[in-house]
Structure 1
Amino acid sequence: MNELKYETPTFEVPHRYGMPVINLYFYVGLISAILLRSIIIADHYSAFWGKAIWYIGVVGYLWFFTHRYHIAKRRFVVVKNLDLLEKVRNRQKLSDKDLEGLEYLLCSLSVSKERANYLIISVLSIVAIVVSLSLDLGILKL
């Protein structure tokens, strides 16, 4: 993991993304979650639509989770480059750059919609399981 630590005095703390970008990725993730969980219904009507929805949902998830990886990597690099964890553990005085890094991390975490996304994905998964079981057991007919 040392390859992500850049030992330069000119390390720049990244700027957080604006709300339009945050909302875009939230909705990409949400729509992908809905699509992937609706495959079970689409398959009852048409194998073509089941496959089409699967591809669109997976491409959306790929886009969404690539973005989430990028965010996690940016946060990790800030913590590592500024040695923030060690400084906080040792109760060291923080420089202005350290405080800027902490502000970035806290802002990034506070505006993130990942908590809502995880909740929605969990609820949609439960609904998909119930619908799938109902269809498989003949309780629900489409």
Structure 2
Amino acid sequence: MVNKNPACKTCSAARECKDTAVSWFFLFLGLLATLAVRLVNLLLHVGQFWVKLSWYIGVGGFFVYFLYKYEQDRRLRMNLQKARIAEKLYARDKLGAEDYEFLSGLLCRLKSRKDAINYFFIFLSSGIVLALAIYQDFFRP
């Protein structure tokens, strides 16, 4: 997890650095899947084809998105075990330069704008679709 780009050594500098096209692809895939799953209930009134299409896009998108996220987290766990960061911290051992870079990268990752965008979109779209579904199911003439 050591950052290979020397221009991206701090969290504030990392914001100026370009994210990979792959990471943006998976962000948009996650957002699309989120929206598709939330539209299923609203599309019940439109037609079965649209319900199924939305469901498959949503569930298929989530499948691929979470497979990607799982692999990222698995690599992070492996790197944490390999570097023995937790053991060094508990034992109050001296950390090396690579340990500090690793921890800095990890902390920057926790401040990810893409994760914040994803969480906000999930929250907002859930609220909007929930309100629309309640209106459609209980108040629509």
The answer to whether TM tops 0.5 is yes
Q: 1:82 to 1:106 in 2, by over 3 A?
A: same
Letter of the 1:131 counterpart: L
Contact in 1 for aligned 2:2/2:98 (Cα 8 Å): no
Deviation at 1:107, TM superposition (A): 4.1
> Counterpart in 1 of 2:140?
140
> Counterpart in 1 of 2:86?
85
CA distance in 2, matches of 1:66, 1:32: 13
Runs of 4+ more than 4 Å apart: 13-17
Size of the aligned set, in residue pairs, is 128
Alignment TM-score, normalising by the size of structure 1: 0.77
Q: How does 1:1-142 map to 2 (within 5 A)?
A: 13=1, 18-111=19-112, 113-137=114-138, 139-140=139-140
CA distance in 2, matches of 1:110, 1:133: 35
Contact in 2 for aligned 1:14/1:74 (Cα 8 Å): no
Deviation at 1:22, TM superposition (A): 1.8
Q: Which runs of 5+ in 1 are unaligned?
A: 1-12
Q: 1:34 to 1:52 in 2, by over 3 A?
A: same
Q: How big is each residue's C-alpha offset from its partner over 1:106-134, in whole Å with a ceiling of 9 and x where there is no partner?
A: 34334461222122112211222111111
Query: Which protein has the bigger helix share?
Result: 2
Deviation at 1:136, TM superposition (A): 0.8
Contact in 1 for aligned 2:2/2:101 (Cα 8 Å): no
Deviation at 1:55, TM superposition (A): 0.4
Deviates more, 1:113-122 or 1:88-97: 88-97
Identity of aligned residues (%): 27
Q: 1:39 to 1:87 in 2, by over 3 A?
A: same
